[in-house]
C-alpha cells in the first residue's frame, strides 16, 4: 500500500512539473509573419541612415631607429652536416677556426648563425634540427674563445634552400650552418 501511495505521489509530481504555464503574448505585441519574398522586399526598403563624417585616421608616429647591427658584406664559408645530424664534422673545424679568429680580432663584430636543413622531414622537425645545428656551431665558436653574447642564432629549417633539386647531392648542400657577420650600427 505504501508503494502504491509513493508511486501516485511521484506520478502527480512529474505531471505538475512537466505542465508549465504558457505565456500568452497579446496580439498587439506579436510580430507579423512575412513570406520570404515579403521579407526580402522589406529588407530592401529599409536603408540605414549613413552619415559621412570627416575621415579620421589614426596618426601613427614612427621613429626610424637606426639598426643595432648591420650585415657586413663578405662571404664566409658555410659548414655542412650529415643527414639528420648536428655534430660538427672534421671538415668544418678549420672554417669555424677562421670565423673565430675574425671575431677575436674585431670586437665590434658579431655573428649570426643560421641553421638550415634539407626538405625531408616535417617543418617542426627541421626547425628544431636547424636550431641544434646553429647551437652546435655556436658552442664550437665559444670553445674557440668567442664570447657567447656576440653570437646570435636563427633556424630556417627547410625554408631557405641553396639547391631545389630532389637529389642527395642537392640535399647535402642544404644541410648547413650559414654565417653572417654583423657590425655594430649607429644605434649602438
> What does the radius of gyration of the chain's CA atoms come to, in whole angstroms?
36
Reference 80, options 150, 164, 162; nearest CA is 162
Q: Which residue has the higher pLDDT, 125 or 37?
A: 125
pLDDT tens-digit series, residues 143-180: 999 999 999 999 999 999 988 888 999 999 999 999 99
pLDDT tens-digit series, residues 73-96: 567 899 999 999 999 999 999 999
- Grid cell, residue 148, equals 657567447
Amino acid 96: pLDDT: 95
Q: Hey, what domains does the chain have and what are their CATH numbers?
A: 79-184 (3.30.1330.60)
Amino acid 15: pLDDT: 64
Query: If you ran DSSP here, which 8-state letter would residue 177 be given?
Result: E
pTM of the predicted structure, to 2 decimals: 0.61
For residues 43 and 21, give the distance between their C-alpha atoms in angstroms, rounded to a whole number: 35
The pLDDT > 90 percentage for the chain reads 48
3-state helix, strand and coil shares in percent for the chain, rounded to the nearest 5: 40, 15, 45
Residue 106: band (very low, low, confident or very high) from pLDDT cuts 50, 70, 90? confident
CB distance 88 to 140 below 8 Å: yes
Phi/psi at 56 (5° precision): -120, 115
Stated as kind and residue range, the H or E segment containing 17 is helix 2-18
Amino acid at each position: 500500500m505504501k508503494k502504491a501511495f509513493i508511486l501516485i505521489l511521484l506520478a502527480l509530481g512529474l505531471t505538475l512539473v512537466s505542465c508549465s504555464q504558457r505565456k500568452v503574448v497579446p496580439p498587439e505585441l506579436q510580430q507579423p509573419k512575412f513570406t520570404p519574398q515579403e521579407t526580402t522586399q522589406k529588407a530592401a526598403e529599409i536603408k540605414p541612415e549613413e552619415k559621412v563624417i570627416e575621415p579620421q585616421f589614426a596618426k601613427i608616429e614612427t621613429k626610424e631607429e637606426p639598426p643595432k647591427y648591420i650585415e657586413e658584406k663578405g662571404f664566409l664559408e658555410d659548414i655542412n652536416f650529415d643527414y639528420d645530424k648536428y655534430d660538427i664534422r672534421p671538415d668544418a673545424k678549420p672554417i669555424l677556426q677562421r670565423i673565430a679568429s675574425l671575431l677575436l680580432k674585431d670586437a665590434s663584430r658579431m655573428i649570426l648563425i643560421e641553421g638550415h636543413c634539407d626538405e625531408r622531414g616535417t617543418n617542426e622537425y627541421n626547425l628544431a634540427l636547424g636550431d641544434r645545428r646553429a647551437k652546435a656551431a655556436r658552442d664550437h665558436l665559444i670553445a674557440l674563445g668567442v664570447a657567447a653574447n656576440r653570437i646570435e642564432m636563427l633556424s630556417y629549417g627547410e625554408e631557405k634552400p641553396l639547391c631545389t633539386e630532389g637529389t642527395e647531392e642537392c640535399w647535402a648542400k642544404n644541410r648547413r650552418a650559414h654565417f653572417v657577420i654583423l657590425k655594430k650600427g649607429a644605434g649602438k
